[in-house]
Structure 1
Amino acid sequence: MSDHAFVDAPLPLVPRPAVAALVRLADGRYLLQLRDDIPGIWYPDHWGLFGGAIEAGETPEQALVREVREELGVEPLSHGYFMRLTFDFAFAGLETMPRDYFEVTLPTTDPSELVLGEGRAVAAHTPQAILQDLRVVPYDAFALFLHINNAKIKGDADHAHAR
């Protein structure tokens, strides 16, 4: 794939409602997927969260469980809604498309025990690496930034006096 596959891909990109899994390990790192480097997908060769499009008839929660199973080979132990980003595609004659983010607990957090079903790699990364060093899908980077800074954004008592 060329160095410009992300920009030069000839295939159309089709926006769809989607879900993503925020998997934070006990040590504070997050599990990310290195996306395939192929044309026709959003952000090839970028690190991103596990997840994908919501299929017809699925709820976001059902899509999340299916995507985690397909991409990591495990059933989530639990998941809770975190946030939604909504993208307005009116410029292309399309509707708005949501991307729902869920906090997910897996039965294992050891990447070597996961069966990668999509993408090139799975790895755990520190918040600093995610926000400063890696090439991360921009909307996932924003959701991760909000998750990492959740307490500061809420104005928790421990952080309120630090401002």
Structure 2
Amino acid sequence: MQVTQGGPLLMVQVENEYGSYGFDHDYTRAVRDILLRNFDVPLYTNDGGVKFTLLGGTVPGVLAEVDGDPASGFTARDEYVTDPLELGPLLDGEYYTLAPDTWGSDSIHNTAEGHPATVNQFVEDLDIVLDSNNSISLYVRPELAYLSPYANAKLPLDVPWRN
């Protein structure tokens, strides 16, 4: 499954936002070591772009990435992550185009409709990332992804954006 073996996996994530709730580096090193024995693609972590999450979530020798606001996140990573082995290309590893909806009858449905500032912020964040030749992993609204007419289906041959 790895790109080095002809598959689609480019990278493998050691932990996701571990720094938000933990600081057990023995645990994260053990996870890293298991992955190193089984994968030959780059490993990375993904944490919030603030000091405590980066200090808690980084793993020695593993690329450290951030999520959320790319401007402050990239700045924080460059400030608080000092091990050269943990630095590399900047990636906003988890960027939500809108906050996820929650379950239940009282939940709020998040939408950008009627909220031009939300759309402008999204465009500004993309500009920050792409204008500086960095990378971003977009978590799009469900209706744009898995609830589309083609979700989990074989695409018709006449879809213009089909690969």
Which TM class, normalised by the smaller chain length? Answer: under 0.3
The structure carrying a bigger helix percent of its residues is 2
Structure number with bigger Rg: 2
The structure carrying a bigger strand percent of its residues is 1
Q: TM-score, normalising length from structure 2?
A: 0.26
